[in-house]
Chain A
Amino acid sequence: MGGHDTYIERQPVAEAQLESAIDVVAREMTAFEPSGDLRARVIEQIEHGPHRRSPVARWAWAGATAVILMALATAVWIARPVQAPGGSEATVAEQRAAAPQVTPAVRPPQPVETSVPSVAQPAPASRGTRPRPIQAVGAGASEVAEETSLVPALAEIQPLSFPAVEPDLLHVAAVEVAPIPAMPEIDIPSVNPGPNDSQSVDLKKEKQQ
């Protein structure tokens, strides 16, 4: 019944014919027959039980799904990139090495001595990436490397120093208080109510006057 239909000139239809047409169409819309095997399917389902899962099985599936989701969420949480409080990731070795030098943000790789067990300096970690495992050379260095790569440490805390706060002394001028001169006596005349004073004159008497 779109709007364009309004402009089409149609043959008038008698109301009874319209009613009849409505009946016919409404009947047509439900004039279908169910399939012949409906009874057989119903009886089969009654005898052999429902094909769908039982409520217990559905609960079991729901529980298993929840467990899997929680395991996935835990795995993601564990494997997430570890962010240092300052926003960048750095290992203990990196932070200790970088502590004395303030200005250079990126240090060139240090040569590795093979004779002494030592820990190679890793490349500076960029923001948002996991720290690279430290390449170690020599016996025992791998354990140290593993330990330092796993534990992100805080930077060394420098003691805070503040300049002494010594406010200037407050100089207040001396204040001299002059004596109060003696007050002259005040003569107050007696206050007598007049004839037009409504508060003191009886209204009835006033009206009579």
Chain B
Amino acid sequence: MDPVSTVGVSDPELVELARRGDDAAFGALVDRHRTSVFRAALAALGSPEDAEEVAQEAFVAAYRHLPDFREDASFKTWLLSIAWRRALTRRRNVKSLLRRFVQPPEDTEWQVPDAGRSQEQAVLDRELHGHIRRGISRLAPKLRDALLLASAGDQSYAEIAGMLGIPVGTLKWRVSEARRQLKGRLAEMGYGQLGARG
């Protein structure tokens, strides 16, 4: 099939084409949503390698279940739900648990934003960010998932709530609760007094 530009083609149209056997149309859907799917899986798993595998599995599963897609929700939400379920399944796997045990997420490399700050400030920022990262990793999974998905910025609250299968209000509460717990732990460590005073 000849490659056709899919820039102005909507998701439902691409889905319809893919249902008729147009693999290029489904490829366009993959390109369009691969980052969202990958990052959702990454939020659940914490490992880019696992997230990549889950994203691939999710796209293949979505292609095979295209006839079952009833368009009650958007294709993106449906696709994210598939990816999320697979990511949770993998998160429960022994292999994944072992990997997290051997290499906790907080030990991975991360970049400190350098906006012309002093070296001392950069060190302090780095220390603070390290504490926040460890704090996020130690949150309850439901709170951590909500915070990471909401912070990633790839999906709206409605899409995330649809993916998790919870009301939007519940999602917002989880994000807020995650932040509250994080700030509480940071306050115990000496951060956040200025906000408390003011």
Q: For chain B, residues 20 to 49, give those with C-beta under 8 angstroms from any C-beta of chain A.
A: 23, 26-27, 30-31, 34-35, 37-39, 42-43, 46, 48
Scoring B residues 46 to 66 as 1 if CB is less than 8 Å from chain A, else 0, what string do you get?
Answer: 101001100110011001000
Contact, CB under 8 Å: B132 / A6: no
Q: Is B193 an interface residue (CB 8 A)?
A: yes
B residues with CB within 8 A of A: 23, 26-27, 30-31, 34-35, 37-39, 42-43, 46, 48, 51-52, 55-56, 59-60, 63, 105, 110-111, 113, 124-125, 128-129, 131-136, 138, 147-153, 179, 182-183, 185-186, 188-198
Contact indicator per residue, chain A 101-145, by CB within 8 Å of chain B (1) or not (0): 000000000000000000000000000000000000000000000
Question: Is A1 among interface residues, defined by CB-CB distance under 8 A?
Answer: yes
Known: A1-B185, A33-B35, A39-B31. Contact between A18 and B133, CB under 8 A? Answer: no
Chain A residues with CB below 8 A from B51, complex form: 32, 34
Q: List 24 A-B contacts (CB under 8 A).
A: A5-B189, A5-B190, A8-B189, A9-B190, A11-B124, A12-B193, A19-B183, A21-B132, A22-B132, A26-B136, A26-B150, A29-B43, A29-B136, A29-B148, A33-B38, A34-B52, A38-B56, A39-B27, A39-B30, A39-B31, A41-B56, A42-B59, A43-B23, A45-B60
Contact among B56, B60, B129, B188 with A6 in the assembled complex (CB-CB below 8 Å): B188
Q: Enumerate chain B residues within 8 angstroms of A29, measured Cβ to Cβ.
A: 42-43, 46, 105, 133, 136, 148, 151
A-B contact count, CB below 8 Å? Answer: 144
B60 near A32: Cβ-Cβ < 8 Å: no
CA distance A10 to B60 in the complex (A): 50
The interface residues of chain A, by DSSP majority, are classed as: helix
A188 to B56, CA, bound (A): 113
- Given A6-B188, A12-B192, A13-B192, A47-B52 contact (CB < 8 Å): no
